[in-house]
Structure 1
Amino acid sequence: MNRTLPLLTGLLWLLLSNLPLFAQLQTPYILNGAATQRTCNCYVLTEDVMNTSGTVWNKNKISLNNSFDYYFDVNLGCKDDNGADGIGFILQTRGTNLGTTGQGMGFQNIVPSLGVMIDTWENLADGDPDYDHVSIQVNGDISHSSVNNLAGPVTALEGNGNIEDCNWHIFRIKWDAATKLMEVSIDGVLRVSVQKDLVADVFGGDPMVYWGFGSGTGGSSNLQQFCAALRPQLAFDNNQLFCDGTPIVFGDDSKSFGTVTRRLWDFGDGTTSTVADPPPHLYARPGEYEVRLVIEDNSGCISDTMKQPVTIGSYPVPDFTTDLLCTGHPVTITNKTTLDVGTIRQWDWDFGNGQTSASQHPFIAYTDTGTYSIKLQATSTQGCSAGIEKIMEVYPTPGISASGENACIGVPVSFTGTDETPTVPLSQWYWDLGNGQQQTGQQISYVYPAGGTYEASLHTVSTDGCFSDTSKVTVIVTDINLFAGNDTIVARNQPLQLNARTNGSGLQFRWSPATGLTDPGIADPLAYLQQDQVYQLTVTSAEGCIEIDTLNVKVYAGPEFYIPTAFSPNNDGRNDVFRAISPGVSALDFFRVWNRWGQEVFSTHSLTASWDGTFKGIPMPAGTYVWMIQGTDYKGRLFNRKGTVTIVR
């Protein structure tokens, strides 16, 4: 807490600086021991030095037949673990030159006396608790076990065992002479109290007493101080309106030990006042202002400057917009209220249908069509309020349903929308077909490019612009995806395994003709053929979808190797490669080609491989080449052939 004289500017300085400088040093107190005056109204009782004491006594006695309400600021130092010993507010009749060191805190052995003691050291012999505490004692007795302990000890701060926290704390002593009640508060919280006839029971019938502060240190120490209260403070009703054009009431609730003799208000807009309760002040325009108050007491001390921010708010300009209102469809109302100065703290909505809201951007859903009055009242934290009313129309929402038919691949799927609210005129129907495609119209058809399950959806828009809810329909497009197999060759009477590929289950198969087949009604029959054959396979799904594919089978006498005598690798698409046709051959041991000098230029173990007339990527010249081939037939017999082939270029 800053207790130095503030630097006053402008009118503050002109009003208060005309006091003689020595007024700040005058004091109504007698100082003893280590006590020193720090500022006009503040005193150091002990420095942070061991085995010292200090007392400060007011020169003038007071009468306990009169009530008093004293405010002080106290600071018990910054050393918690090894700080000592504390301070006390003391009433006594013996004089102004008293005081003791250490745990006595300037109070011990003064008889008669009353002390309100803030003790920061645990002296077990006196029954001290292990926390910083406050108590009311009489007759210089600091023991908490004695009958002279009238109240306490309790923690000096509510809920906190440490008051040696470097901070200033408000220390209030209130005496009610009529009820004989003394109350002690710290930082606005009542800590201890006692109801006792102090004049009769403590001071032997003498109501005139000295008052002051005492403090002491022993083997441990702390900087311990007090100030006679000189606190400018507003008597301020925060519930009044702080709005443009409304006068603001400022009152003086300053706390001063002495009598406040002068004061200066600065309202932050260039105007001032010197009365305790100035007339209501009207600010010329909204804005942020800083109200200041400085007071002076009868000892010539000038307070610090009280500073109170005040916002004079402008009135809100309420406004809002909303999307089209349709029955059953919640919409967000967009609040567009503006405010130049201040903050909106409250929104009050009335939607004209019995519903209200306090949200800034509320949701609203109307169940019935019609004309409604929507009202908004906006109120700022300064209490400034303004409203707006708009007449809005609520339109009917159309109702629809959707249906669709399953289909086979390649067949159009038919979709139909049904109008469930014929009295609501519609402008358009919108389909989403579930595969990224859209169409418009109440009845549509669409050919899906692939089989599968699709979730299509439909919504409509009325001529008023209201969207219906979305109706969904699931359709299945069946694709058997039939493949009868690759065209192939086979040796006469060699078993040929057919193996058709399909999607789905519950399928019916029919191979036609049934020539040479072990079972024409399954996907994978065996075929035994004597001549070339073309098979047609028809597959029918459980949904009735039909797909047809064909398979060509070339039949050779075999097993045998059929090898051409010449080829022309000129990339004209005709006879560009040299390869063996091998009906009845189940495995190839080798197929090799040599040039005229016996160099191998081609070799393979694959029945389907072919030679393109090159060797290591280089085209071979025209001429005659020798080949040899060897394999095993489907019955397991080994056989081979050899011959020549001519490259023609």
Structure 2
Amino acid sequence: MNRSCCLLLPTVFLLYSPVAAQVTASFTVPATVCAGTPLTVNNTSVGATNYYWSFCAADFSANPDAVNLGNPNGVVNNPVFGCYVQDADGNFYGLVTCYAEGHLIRLRFGNSLLNNPTAEDLGTFGGVIPEQLEGIQLLKVNGNWTAIMVGGGNQSANSSPRVVKVDFGNALTNPGTATNWGNVGGLNLPHKLYIGFEGGNYYGFTTNVIDNTITRLSFGPDFTNLPTGINMGNIGNLDYPCGLTFVKYAGNWYCLTANMNSNSLTRLDFGTSLLNTPTGVNIGNPGGVLNTPRDIVLFTTCSGVYGFVTGMNNNDLVKLYFGNDPTTVPGATDLGNIGNFSFPHSLSDLFRVGNDIYTFVPNANSNSLTRLRFAGCSDIPGSSAQNPAPVTYPNPGVYDINLMVDLGLPTQTSYCQQVYVAPLPQGTLIGDTVCTGDSPSISFNTFNNTTQGAAPFTISYTDGTHTYTQGGLPGVYQSLITVPALGTYTLTNITGSNGCSTDTTETVNVSMKPLPQGGIAGIANCGSDSATLWFTASSGTGPFFLQLSPGGTAFLDPGQTLTLPLSQQTTFNLLWVVDKYCERRSGFDTPSVTLTPRPNPVVQFNSPGSICYNAAPELLTAASETTGLPGSGAYSGPGTDAAGNFTPADAGVGTHTILYSYTANDGCTAADSNQIVVNPAPVQAEVMITGCEGVPIQVSAAKGGATYTWTPATGLSNATVANPTAELDGSITYVAQVIDSDGCAASDTVAIKDAGPVKRAFMIPNGFTPNGDGHNDCFGIHTWGQVTLDEFDIFDRWGTKVFSTKDPADCWDGTVGGQPEPPGAYVFVIRAETACGKITRTGTLMLMR
């Protein structure tokens, strides 16, 4: 039996291998089948001896994935072309040609071409194989393997152009013997080689890149004898034609060549026979993406004709799509360098593993191989039976069914047909939709999902006693079906207009539901041309769909509100309410609500100014509502009651913020604030001074005053200064009145007791209150008059000095380092020289807060 050509498993129709007239691949299959329904394929092929069915062919419209296999065993050097086959031992082998040295490499893949191969250098067979070795085809004829190679470009002594045959006998593991058939057909650095079969004879075609011609070789019925050849010249503006591919489409043979120098493609049309002299046309650079194209493969599928081109300079792969006519200029897409290409020299003939299609690309610069994969589906296995078992497609879609017959034989051919897998209809019954006053009913719904079968639909359902059928259902939104009575119904079957059917056991209950009831309420929003409305339901299941006039429609969940415009008094009417099941159009609890816009009040709070700490309470009148909107206001803040009575002693010295809030009679509010300053009262005079006989006494009023008045003026050096001196012969009481720069006034008495000659004057208070109220805020001896202070120290209970000075005007304010000391007992020591002599005072004082 004759076997041919690289175990090439074409995708669809004929790929690379010839079609003998007596073998026809064909089958019949329904154009449409329902998902999940077994599909029977009727094989009508004629004369075939083996079969391979793919029920989910590889998708050539998608981009392939790629993996670079590296350099097997490091023996590959400048690889250019390759052929890959399966031998009788079940193992896969490859032969790769190496350009520069003319070596032939044998690859062993084991039981799958997806394994990483081992490599063996078979050499040049004693120089029979030339340097500048290029194309190769591997065929099994009459049980023996024969490799046919072309190469040679007169670059060196052993690079004369030639055809070489290597016979491996009945196994590719044999060492092989080589024959130099010489230059047949005017070869001049021939490149890719194609071998076809027609009329019982083998024919070969190769392109010559030096003189831009194409040669046809005639081998006869086998490869025993020296072939004859003819150089057919330059047809179709060939320009360094590196690669070529053949395909038979609609009964005619076509060849496309890749022209490296002109970045173009040439199409040769042979008509119905490879023996015809072809016509040629250069179709240019499709899409302008070809850059130094080196090789091309072309093949047909159910969805059109595809091709791929390798590019040298860009190390890229370009995809071509011709539609359904290989004679048109194809669309082109540059896929880039998807497989670590490095001078991707050629594309091997295709082979199949499962539903995936593969090809090998030799990388001439990196001495490596790249494997490309065109993925098919993985869940529908193929078959090698003449009459395959029915196949089931679980998912809807369009599938390519491809039959290849006589795989690896000269009569290898294929046939492709598409089948549309229709989706199964799906839907649901909806119950609980019977509203008060309505007839019992159910509805059928596919939720407007167009993938769930072809409308209209016919359904079957049962109440447990009777079975009912309803047809003509569109299946979108609700297709209402009247049922005899309330109760439970089971959907048993759905059938679409495309004949696809689904059995189901979905059950629904039909029960009476009340109509939704309730009413609307609302409120005008303060200071805004809008109103907030809400629906209060007394029956029904939310969310609720409302129609209002004015206001349009809205969906509201219980508790949700709706904001609508309100520029003038408006009556909002409730026209329609729909809940989850039912609807109501009249008879609402509260069918309308009338709302009037509510402006915000405007509040102005002028500055209330300042007040003295010791002043009487004052009524604040600086705040008011300015638009005349009826309502009431209230004050709040330190020392202030709601009526605006401000007590400075309660607020304390400092700056205080007072808030005035106004609430209109319609509930809208506004507020404003301002600050009032409480000024401290002047520091008042000391209470008592004991004088020494014949010694003038200095009395002291508040510090920082603007005016001072002492009464009576008896014995005083000046009755209008802060610190006059008094010369007295007896005791007297003065009244000191002080007015500061803020207009705050204070007065107190100073009692001077005549001590006579006794020197126990210069009294010390036993405590002080540093709280900032202007009374007893500082502990000192400034009332002693003119003294020389030798020591003035204060200690806490643990003996730590907290204050020390020699300035009689200084006093302790109850702090250390700016931080207040805690209340309690402190010890003081004072030593001073006075008009009455040296004075020493020690004792305990109390710090009170």
TM-score category of the 2 structures, normalised to the smaller one: 0.3 to 0.5
With the length of structure 1 as denominator, give the TM-score of the two structures. 0.45
Bigger share in strand: 2
